[in-house]
C-alpha cells in the first residue's frame, strides 16, 4: 500500500454518519453547557464562594470590626469557644426542637390537604386557590396578623379560650415554653401549601386500578391509604421531608418577625444567634464557625435521612 493511498480520506457512508453524529453530540454538549453556565456561575459566586469564605474566616480572628489586612489565623479557637457558650449550644437545641415540631406537622398538613383537595367537590378550583393563599402571603403581614391573634391581652385566641373555661390561657409568643411551638405552628400554616401541591401531583400519579383492585378485595379506606397511597407517594414524602428539614434550620425570617428570639432568649434559634453574633457584636469569625457547625449538623441529619430511606421509600 502506497503512502498516498494510506492518507486518502475515508468518505464511506458509515464514516460520514459517525462524524455527523459526533458533531451533533458536540453541538448538543456545547448547547447544554451554555444553558447550564448561568446557573453554574451564579452557584459558584453566590453559593460555593460564600461557603468557602465562611469556612476560611471561621479560622481567623475577625471578631471585631477591623481591616482585612490585619486578620490573623486562630486555628480552632472559634470552634472551641462554641463549646463554652451556653447560649450558642442552646440555640442549636432550639433549632432542633423547632425542626421536630415543624417537619412532621408540615408534612402531615400538606398530605391531608392534598388528599382532601384530590376529591371531587363543588368549588374545587376555588378551594385550591384559597388553600394557596398562606403561601403567597408576606411574612411581615403574617407576623402582624398572628401577633394580634395570639396577643395574651385581648387576642381573639385567648378570648375564645377564656370563654370556653380555660383559666390560664397560654402566652403564645410571649411564653418561654410556647414561643417556639407557636412560631412552628405559624410556619406550618404559611408553608403547607407547597407540600400540598407537590402531594397533589403525586396523588394524581397513583394508578386508579390499584384502588379498584383493592376495593374488589374489600379493602377499607384506611387500608387503601396505608397500603396504596402512602407507599406510592413515599418518594415524594422523602423529598418533602428532606427539603423541609433543611429549610427548617433556615428559619431566621420567621423568628425575627415573630419573636426576635424572645422572651429572653427562649426562642433564640441558631440562625438568630449567628445573626446577633455577626451583626450586633461584630463577631464575624465566631458567627461563621457557628454557621459551619450548623452546616455539619444539617449534613449529618440529611445523611441519616438518606440512609434510612431504604426502609420506607418505595421507588
Partner 1 sequence: MKVIKKAILSSLLLGLVGTSLAGCGGTNNSPGDSPASSNASVDPVTIKWYVTSGNGNMPVTQQLLADYKAESGVNVELQVVPGDGEAIYKKVDVDLSAGGDVDLITMQNAIVLSKYATNDWLLPLNDIYKEAGYDYETKFGKNLNKFDGDTIYTLPDGLVSWVVFYNKKIFDDANVPYPSGEWTWDQYIETAKKLTDPSKGIYGSSMPDYDTILYLLAQQQGVNAYKADGTSNYDDPAFKESLQWYGELGNTLKIQPSWLEIKSKKIPYDAFMTGKYGMQLIGSWYTFAPQDLKTYPRDWKIGLTQIPVDPQGKNGISTSGGIAVNKASKHSKEAADFVRWFAENNYKYSGGMTAQVNLNDEESNKIFTEIAAKFPALDGITAEDLKAALVTPNLGAVPEKITGSIPTDYGNIILQEGELYLVGQKSLDDAISSIKTRANEAIKKQSTIH
The nearer residue to partner 1, 229 or 271, going by C-beta atoms, is 271
Give the separation between CA 172 and CA 234, rounded to whole angstroms.
Answer: 34
Residue with cell 383492585: 213
- In the complex, minimum distance from the CB of residue 77 to partner 1, in angstroms, rounded to a whole number: 6
The nearer residue to partner 1, 98 or 284, going by C-beta atoms, is 284
The nearer residue to partner 1, 245 or 273, going by C-beta atoms, is 273
Residue 174 touches partner 1, criterion: CB under 8 A:
yes
Residues 6+ away with beta carbon under 8 Å from 175: 182, 263, 266
Q: How many residues bind partner 1 (CB under 8 A)?
A: 49
Backbone angles phi, psi at 11, to 5 degrees: -105, 25
Where in 132-151 is the site for partner 1 (CB under 8 A)? 147, 151
Q: Of 66, 48, 79, which is closest to residue 289 (Cα–Cα)?
A: 79
Candidate list 7, 13, 14, 65; residue touching partner 1; CB under 8 A: 65
Question: In Å, what is the CA distance from 274 to each residue of 64, 89, 94, 313, 315?
Answer: 15, 12, 13, 35, 39
Give the separation between CA 106 and CA 101, rounded to whole angstroms.
Answer: 9
- In the complex, minimum distance from the CB of residue 65 to partner 1, in angstroms, rounded to a whole number: 5
Candidate list 73, 121, 126, 153; residue touching partner 1; CB under 8 A: 153
Q: Of 178, 180, 137, 172, which is closest to residue 271 (Cα–Cα)?
A: 180
Query: Per-residue x/- mask for partner 1, residues 248 to 287, rule CB under 8 A?
Result: -------------xxxxxx---------x-xxxxxxxxx-
Q: How far is the first Cα of the chain from the last one, in angstroms, to the nearest whole number? A: 59
Residues that bind partner 1 (CB under 8 A): 45-46, 49-50, 53, 61-69, 74, 77-78, 80-81, 84-87, 147, 151-153, 155, 171, 173-176, 261-266, 276, 278-286
Amino acid at each position: 500500500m502506497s503512502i498516498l493511498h494510506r492518507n486518502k480520506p475515508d468518505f464511506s457512508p458509515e464514516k460520514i454518519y459517525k462524524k455527523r453524529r459526533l458533531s451533533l453530540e458536540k453541538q448538543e454538549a456545547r448547547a447544554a453547557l451554555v444553558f447550564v453556565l448561568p446557573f453554574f456561575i451564579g452557584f459558584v459566586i453566590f453559593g460555593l464562594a460564600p461557603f468557602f469564605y465562611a469556612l476560611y474566616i471561621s479560622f481567623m480572628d475577625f471578631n471585631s470590626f477591623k481591616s482585612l489586612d490585619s486578620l490573623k489565623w486562630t486555628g480552632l479557637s472559634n470552634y472551641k469557644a462554641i463549646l463554652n457558650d451556653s447560649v450558642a449550644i442552646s440555640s442549636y437545641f432550639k433549632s432542633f426542637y423547632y425542626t421536630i415540631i415543624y417537619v412532621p406537622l408540615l408534612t402531615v398538613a400538606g398530605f391531608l390537604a392534598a388528599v382532601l383537595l384530590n376529591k371531587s367537590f363543588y368549588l374545587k378550583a376555588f378551594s385550591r386557590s384559597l388553600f394557596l393563599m398562606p403561601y403567597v402571603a408576606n411574612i411581615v403581614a403574617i407576623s402582624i396578623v398572628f401577633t394580634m391573634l395570639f396577643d395574651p391581652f385581648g387576642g381573639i385566641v385567648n378570648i375564645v379560650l377564656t370563654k370556653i373555661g380555660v383559666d390560664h390561657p397560654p402566652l403564645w409568643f410571649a411564653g418561654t415554653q410556647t414561643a417556639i411551638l407557636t412560631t412552628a405552628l405559624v410556619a406550618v400554616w404559611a408553608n403547607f401549601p407547597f407540600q400540598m401541591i407537590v402531594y397533589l401531583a403525586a396523588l394524581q400519579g397513583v394508578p386508579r386500578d390499584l384502588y379498584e383492585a383493592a376495593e374488589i378485595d374489600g379493602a377499607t379506606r384506611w387500608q387503601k391509604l396505608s397500603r396504596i397511597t402512602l407507599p406510592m407517594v413515599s418518594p415524594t414524602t422523602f423529598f418533602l421531608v428532606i427539603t423541609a428539614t433543611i429549610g427548617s434550620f433556615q428559619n431566621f425570617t420567621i423568628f425575627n418577625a415573630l419573636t426576635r428570639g424572645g422572651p429572653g432568649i427562649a426562642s433564640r434559634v441558631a440562625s438568630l444567634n449567628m445573626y446577633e453574633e455577626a451583626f450586633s457584636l461584630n463577631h464575624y469569625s465566631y458567627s461563621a464557625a457557628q454557621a459551619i457547625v450548623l452546616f455539619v449538623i444539617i449534613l449529618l441529619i440529611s445523611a441519616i435521612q438518606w440512609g434510612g430511606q431504604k426502609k420506607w421509600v418505595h421507588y
